[in-house]
Structure 1
Amino acid sequence: MAQTLLEQLRKITTVVADTGDIQAIEQVKPQDATTNPSLITAAAGMPAYSQIVDDVLLEAKKNLGDGADDKAVAKEAFKHLAVAFGKKILAIVPGRVSTEVDARLSYDTEKTLAEAHEIIKMYADAGIDKKRILIKIASTWPGIKAAEKLEQEGIHCNLTLLFGLHQAVACAEAKVTLISPFVGRILDWYKKDTGKEYEGADDPGVQSVTTIYNYYKKFGYKTQVMGASFRNIGEIQELAGCDLLTIAPKLLHELDEKQAELPRKLDPKNAEGHQIEKLTIDEKTFEEMHAKDRMAHDKLKEGIEGFSEALEKLEQLLAKRLAELGANKEQTVGAK
């Protein structure tokens, strides 16, 4: 019997679910799962997860005391909410979950470190080993420096919002566990900038991940490449063989419904034969290369702003829900 694209992909690539929707994760059965502020915000608004949200809010209210206003409680709660979803996800997947630090801290190394330690402690308090957690951090220079320190402490990191080779090389030199280059967002930028359509191996996002993968394998870096942010299954097929791919449930279902040959496109053995210049990246070089790379500059800025807006939306959603819980409690007391 012919195998589906997903069945073939699983043999050469670790398949990761890119969602905060626990029910979707139960259906697609990935090895790992990744979340981000936008995904957690979307999941938090689903009726199926209202109990998780309510429990986190009440716990945050208890921690801060009755005098705390709803906004303060919501700000405290959102950190715990990502971990609450992470704990549920880890009860399903056999591997790891990526939990992201506040995107608004992307240019502050010390605050990123503090929040990463807080996330790890919350998981530890729930009896979950740090080996099963990837701290997700934006690939800014301060973010990469924070990840380098965390890795030295045995805390594994997933560097996200990665669009350029300079970011990838800096991450590998920092010995981070894995990176998440954003295939679809790179494609979006080029389509808008050039007005062209791209397919298959011509897709700029596919080309970017292929370049990074070959660079890592050529020079023997241990950092793994996890392609992310896909617009179609064609991009996924072109990156078959990548260390990991994090894929939205909709595209996972498409891969599982299609039967066709899936040739391996990325292979460490092939990378050995490539002529590649080795780069040395310090902060000055990083910033110079970042400024010259319009796409990476634009998409990193846009990504951080987008995740920050998602967090603000989540805090507003949590504050509104907390007010509703308070009103319900008063009505219950009044009825007695």
Structure 2
Amino acid sequence: MADSTHRQIKDSALDALRARTTVVADSGEFETIRAYRPTDATTNPSLVLAAARQDSYRMLVDEALAGTPGHNLTPAERLMTLFGRELTGVVPRYVSTEVDARLSFDTSATIAKARALLADYDALGVARDRILIKIASTWEGIRAASVLEAEGVACNMTLIFSLAQAQACFDVGATLISPFVGRITDWYKAADGVDHYPASEDPGVKSVARINAYAKTHGYPTQVMAASFRNCDQILALAGADLMTISPALLAELDSMPAADMPGLDVSASRDPRVALDRAGFAWAMNDDAMATEKLAEGIRKFAADQRTLEGELGV
């Protein structure tokens, strides 16, 4: 568990990062993240599954199983909102809650599930303006976000691996996008047969920098939240991004590092012209990007598998 013993220095790299970027805890373990004072928190079935297996969170599992939740939610989905409720007591701003990944290719079902999650938060006494609805960035998921954002529902578009996905999310006015730094780097490591990239050449870092430059150059209000970090070098290279969602292990590492100059984001203008993608254009851009296609599909499969495992462990 995180405690005061982790703070070895007065002014840490984490303190310096907070001065440039909104720090988000990438965890469902609200007792663990409390020490690092994140502004937001983000969850997904994988994170909730890991937390739910710990005895310290058994009370939430029992609460989820105590009765049949309303609003067409399963006990597993109720557990997600219960973790979300607790996280709103730890962070001062947003908590992200993910729509079932098995709905990633069904626009209508995604919209209905998002509304059901928000209705359950209402019943739990959590204000809607504290919640980001997290949706996989398929074409169908992005269409769902278009409808939800028009209703005033803030969306966190997850599993971003390409500029095309980001462009489509920008065009529908998504509140937030989450490009996955580490997973992009993982793919290129395997493809290139290398063990390590310096931060300046890291494909995941370069992808987020490109997306961020595009958003800022063309005046989109959507915020860019870098996610899925593998090491602190990636984090320090992207200092200045709107937000970063960081695991407790890396938060602890940053908290024990001295505050030093960090390279941060390149603030130069984007070289990519502003484009608006229709469905065919989006499909072709994804087809033309093997990494993005493979990692999006893999991410959806993994979140769906963890959702099924969570349901199994809850006996539903």
TM-score (norm. length: structure 2): 0.94
Q: Which runs of 5+ in 1 are unaligned?
A: 65-72, 323-336
Larger displacement relative to structure 2 (288-297 or 18-27): 18-27
Overall identity of the aligned pairs, in %? 47
CA distance in 1, matches of 2:104, 2:144: 10
The residue matched to 1:242 in structure 2 has which SS? coil
CA distance in 2, matches of 1:190, 1:242: 22
CA distance in 2, matches of 1:275, 1:182: 21
The residue matched to 2:240 in structure 1 has which SS? coil
Q: Which residue of structure 1 aligns with residue 87 of structure 2?
A: 89
CA distance in 1, matches of 2:121, 2:268: 38
Q: Which residue of structure 2 aligns with residue 98 of structure 1?
A: 96
**Change in CA separation of 1:84 and 1:292 when aligned onto 2, cut-off 3 Å:** same
Supply the AA of the counterpart residue of 1:155: V
Q: Does 1:23 align with 2:21?
A: no
Q: Does the CA-based 8 Å contact 1:210-1:266 persist in structure 2?
A: yes
Q: Which residue of structure 1 aligns with residue 44 of structure 2?
A: 36
Structure with larger Rg = 1
Q: Does 1:160 align with 2:158?
A: yes
Q: Which residue of structure 2 aligns with residue 289 of structure 1?
A: 285
Query: What does residue range 302-313 of structure 1 map to in structure 2 within 5 Å?
Result: 302-313=298-309
Aligned residue pairs, count:
307
Supply the AA of the counterpart residue of 2:33: I
Larger displacement relative to structure 2 (256-265 or 17-26): 256-265
CA distance in 2, matches of 1:158, 1:29: 21
Q: Which residue of structure 2 aligns with residue 217 of structure 1?
A: 216
- Describe the superposition over 1:259-305 as per-residue Cα deviations: whole angstroms up to 9, x where unpaired: 042335226xx344x43322221110000010110000000000000
Q: Which residue of structure 1 aligns with residue 65 of structure 2?
A: 57
CA distance in 2, matches of 1:2, 1:58: 45
Q: Does 1:246 align with 2:245?
A: yes
TM-score (norm. length: structure 1): 0.88
How far apart are residue 63 of structure 1 and its match? 6.2
Q: Which residue of structure 2 aligns with residue 261 of structure 1?
A: 260
Structure 1 segments, 4+ long, off by >6 Å, are none
Query: What does residue range 264-275 of structure 1 map to in structure 2 within 5 Å?
Result: 265-266=264-265, 270-272=267-269, 274-275=270-271
Q: Which residue of structure 1 aligns with residue 20 of structure 2?
A: 12
- Describe the superposition over 1:210-244 as per-residue Cα deviations: whole angstroms up to 9, x where unpaired: 00000000000000000000000000000000000
Q: Does the CA-based 8 Å contact 1:240-1:262 persist in structure 2?
A: no
CA distance in 2, matches of 1:124, 1:252: 31
User: Match for 1:128 among 126, 129, 137?
Assistant: 126
Q: Does the CA-based 8 Å contact 1:215-1:271 persist in structure 2?
A: no
